[in-house]
Amino acid sequence: MILVTGASGTIGGHVVRLLADRGVPFRAMSRNPVDLPNAVRADFTDPVSLTAAVAGVDAVFLVTVPPVPSAEHDIALVDAATAAGVRKIVKLSAIGSGEPFEGATVGAWHVEAEEAIAASGLAWTVLRPPSFASNFLRYQAMIAEGDQIPNVFGTARQPIVDPRDVAAVAVATLLDSTHDGRRYDVTGPELLTFDDQAAVLERVLGRPVRTVDVGLRPQLEAAGMPAEAIAQVSLGTSWAGAGGAEYVTEHVNRILGRPPGTFEQWAIDHRAMFNRMR
């Protein structure tokens, strides 16, 4: 039995679909599991609900998105999993975590969580992907309106990854103990700037996708994000914007036996989601 946390989210949603397709028993965790198969209602801030969610579970896919970056949610799950005799945790982390940059540590909260998992004595695999191709879905309405979409990465290139590949690697590492104790930077196949991605999308959609260079901080402030969260999110973005993530890895090839998907293929497969907004 596998517990999929973040099951209503981007990567967890794909993990649920892949496990269902393969006939692997799973539980899909959400605070509000309305449309999820095999759903369990649980919240990282509610230890009683976590105890119920991990009962009888062999492995956990761990996705945390705390409102202010902190390892608390991960540690709550680790505590419940340890008490329940879970064998393994596969944690979704992020590329660059642990890198020193501008006098601080990129993804410090992910690193703290990774260390807590390793210290628990449970088996683990850590996945550290770069920016997801699906982040462009945030701009559906702006693209439909012909508005300029905000580029916070400048001319830095990143190995944009298809979230379906991250999920497929997650499933492989949940089911195969040869990946225990490994950290994988799960990248896409090519390095792209934000403007490169916009150009690909423009070609696929057949209409203009215009970008404008902006600073991230004012955007986050306008969105009402707490100052502590802004500091951590900005650090990771600045690291990537300075070219920190300008590398590709062979992990998808090695683990899945096929190359990772391109941004163009992701755009083709999701064209309808952009067209629907018109």
Q: Which stretches of the chain bind ligand NAP, using CB under 6 A?
A: 6-12, 30-32, 43-45, 63-65, 92, 94, 129, 131-132, 135
Distant-in-sequence, close-in-space partners of 233: CB < 8 Å, separation ≥ 6: 69, 216, 220, 225
| Least Cβ distance, residue 29 to ligand NAP (angstroms) | 6
Alpha helices in the chain, H assignment, sequence order: 10-22, 47-54, 72-84, 108-119, 140-145, 163-175, 194-205, 216-222, 227-241, 251-256, 263-269, 271-275
8-state DSSP, 71: S
The backbone torsions φ and ψ at residue 100, rounded to the nearest 5 degrees and listed phi first, read: -75, 135
Return the number of the residue (61 or 274) whose C-beta is nearest ligand NAP: 61
| Least Cβ distance, residue 3 to ligand NAP (angstroms) | 11
Return the number of the residue (12 or 188) whose C-beta is nearest ligand NAP: 12
CB-CB contact of 96 with 244 (8 Å) = yes
DSSP letters for 148-194: PEEESSTT--B--B-HHHHHHHHHHHHH-GGGTTEEE----SS-B-H
| Least Cβ distance, residue 96 to ligand NAP (angstroms) | 9
Return the number of the residue (131 or 274) whose C-beta is nearest ligand NAP: 131
Return the number of the residue (44 or 239) whose C-beta is nearest ligand NAP: 44
| Least Cβ distance, residue 83 to ligand NAP (angstroms) | 18
Return the number of the residue (4 or 204) whose C-beta is nearest ligand NAP: 4
Which residue's Cβ lies closest to ligand NAP?
Answer: 9
| Least Cβ distance, residue 246 to ligand NAP (angstroms) | 15
